[in-house]
Amino acid sequence: GENVEQHPSTLSVQEGDSAVIKCTYSDSASNYFPWYKQELGKRPQLIIDIRSNVGEKKDQRIAVTLNKTAKHFSLHITETQPEDSAVYFCAPFNDYKLSFGAGTTVTVRA
């Protein structure tokens, strides 16, 4: 099965600074790479995704970059705001299913 690792497990940033989370995966057949945000007590919400034939995708303050050769993809959040505080999960997709990383807890300090 897919082995997914996320780093770091916790990240504390000053409001306005950038945050970067890296996800590595093991199965080269994975072809869809989403990032989810989960607030306390809530369900995961898709925030950005990328397909395997694209290297980078941006949506306002968030972006995802993919290096398929090295089997890793990263989430970039710029100009962080207090509402960005949450747990973020990568979840590469392969063989009909998402495989989730263990999560990164992001805290934005005011």
Which parts of this chain interact with other proteins (CB under 8 A)? 1, 4, 31-32, 34, 42-44, 46, 49, 89, 91, 93, 96-103
Q: Which is nearer to other proteins, 78 or 105 (CB)?
A: 105
Shortest spacing between CB 16 and other proteins, in angstroms: 28
Structure tokens at 82: 């207090």
- With b for 16 or more beta-carbon neighbours within 10 A and e for fewer, the 74-85 pattern comes to bbbbeebeeebb
Q: Which is nearer to other proteins, 17 or 102 (CB)?
A: 102
User: How many residues would you count in the chain?
Assistant: 110
Q: Which is nearer to other proteins, 65 or 99 (CB)?
A: 99
Q: How many CB atoms lie within 10 A of CB 52?
A: 16
